[in-house]
Chain A
Amino acid sequence: MSDRARRIIFFVGALPLAALLVLACLRLPPSGRGGSSYGDVINGAAADERHAADAVTAVNFDYRAFDTLGEEFILFTSVMGVVLLLRRSSEDDTEDDTDDKSANRQAPPTSDAVRALGLALVGLTVSFGLYIVTHGQVSPGGGFQGGVIIATGWMVLYLAGNAQTYCRLASPSLFEAVEALGAASYALVGAGALVAGMAYLANYVPLGPTPSTVRSGGTIALLSVAVGIEVSAGFIVLISTFLKEALAERQDQ
């Protein structure tokens, strides 16, 4: 099919679709006057009922924790899919041969300034990530956001060091296991509620002090940490898998 025909067919379909979408949106409450009564109930209840100041985290890891279980396994399977798809058929390229070998240029050596700043940032980034993971119930944050921040620490490590150091410190097989551990602990914390004689993923851990602190929230804190472990390990696996692929590609050329 020619490009022109494609575009014509697209516009024939898209213009009525656009009109329908606009008509549908005009029947929504306008932005600024939206919000659901379900949201209001949770805003009113989360702090007293779950000792969690942040209603968003309370929704994610308590009221709708079962949905998050599903989201979490989408994440897990996508990462596994990437690892499977990019697994080299010949696993003989050993780790000590993963220097940054560009096909047409040698990568310039990392400058001392980048190296020093990078190494200083790694600790800062990882501890900030840990803070975000553990304080999800008190302030905006939680396992998803914090996990990505922790994984950023490993990216800074790659920028500051070289690919060789990075691959040693971010071995995919190790982080695949850590990711699986995170995913499993989410499911197991949920199963703990069954042992306590409650519904799956019910909040069975003592809720801790109120107004909420880092020890508040019961299972909210535990599930947030489980997700934090999974997300950070998952992203580190993704980064190192793509990096290995790129390095292998360069060697082939």
Chain B
Amino acid sequence: MIPGYVPFFVAIWLFLWGLYGIITSRHFVHLIVCVGLLQTSTYLLLAGIGYRAGGVAPVMVTTTHAHESVVDPIVQALMLTDVVVEATVMALLLAMAVQLYEKLGSADPQKTRVLRG
């Protein structure tokens, strides 16, 4: 029973440590990498949900796949758009970090008045 849940547990593990990194971060770039880590956990969760033991990729080159087990294409489609969109969103966050550093003179989120929690 347990082996099937390992991908989900690893996803939770990554999610929580990403969150920990965001909360305790002392540098904007570190913070953004942690946001990336947090987002990576969703890929693992989605891939875990769609996987079938022994399943083949959802590419139907011939019609002989009908009796074979095929993994879920929906979660894969979600993931692949998200990977690319995440990269551009990370670039946007990094651009914000550059601007914040120029405006505030510090890359430490806890030293800046606007972000101090």
Cβ–Cβ contact A31 & B88, under 8 A:
no
> Chain B nearest CB: distance from A253 CB in Å?
13
**B60 → chain A, closest Cβ, in Å?**
4
A4 to nearest B CB, angstroms? 10
Residues of B within 8 A of A85 (CB): 92, 95-96, 98-99
B6, B11, B82, B88: most-surrounded residue (chain A CB, <10 A): B88
A234 at the interface (CB under 8 A from B): yes
A32 and B23: CB pair below 8 A? Answer: no
User: Are the C-beta atoms of A86 and B95 separated by less than 8 Å?
Assistant: yes
* A59 contacts B88, C-beta separation under 8 Å: no
Contact with A along B40-84 (1 / 0, CB 8 A): 000000001111110101111111011000111111110011111
**A36 interface contact, C-beta 8 A:** yes
Alpha-carbon distance between A70 and B35 when the two chains are bound, in angstroms: 21
Task: Classify chain B: how many residues form its interface, as a range.
Answer: 35 or more
Q: Which residues of B contact A21 (CB under 8 A)?
A: 12, 15
A93 within 8 A of B: no
A245 an interface residue at 8 Å Cβ cutoff? yes
Assess the A35–B77 pair: CB atoms within 8 A.
Answer: no
A56 with B60: CB separation less than 8 A:
no
- Whether B24 lies near A64 (C-beta < 8 A) is no
Cβ–Cβ contact B80 & A31, under 8 A: no
Evaluate contact between B70 and A6: CB separation under 8 angstroms: no
Q: By the criterion CB–CB under 8 Å, are B51 and A55 in contact?
A: no
State in angstroms the CA–CA spacing of A238 and B89 once bound together: 11
Contact status A238-B91, CB under 8 Å: yes
- Does A145 reach chain B (CB closer than 8 Å)? yes
User: Which residues from chain A sit less than 8 Å from chain B, CB to CB?
Assistant: 1, 3, 6-7, 10, 14, 17-18, 21-22, 25-26, 28-36, 38-40, 42-44, 46-47, 53-60, 64, 67-68, 71, 74-75, 78-79, 81-82, 85-86, 139-140, 142, 144-145, 147-148, 211, 231, 234-235, 238, 241-242, 245
Other than the given A31-B48, A40-B72, A86-B95, 16 more pairs (CB < 8 A) read A3-B24, A7-B24, A18-B16, A21-B12, A22-B9, A33-B53, A34-B48, A55-B58, A55-B59, A71-B81, A79-B88, A81-B95, A144-B83, A148-B84, A235-B88, A242-B91
Q: List 14 A-B contacts (CB under 8 A).
A: A1-B116, A30-B4, A31-B49, A32-B53, A34-B51, A35-B50, A36-B50, A44-B66, A59-B73, A79-B88, A79-B91, A139-B59, A140-B57, A245-B98
Q: Which residues of B contact A (CB under 8 A)?
A: 1, 3-9, 11-12, 15-16, 19-20, 23-24, 48-53, 55, 57-63, 65-66, 70-77, 80-85, 87-89, 91-92, 94-96, 98-99, 116-117
**What 6 A-B pairs have minimum CB-CB distances, sorted nearest first?**
A30-B4, A39-B72, A32-B53, A25-B8, A55-B73, A55-B58
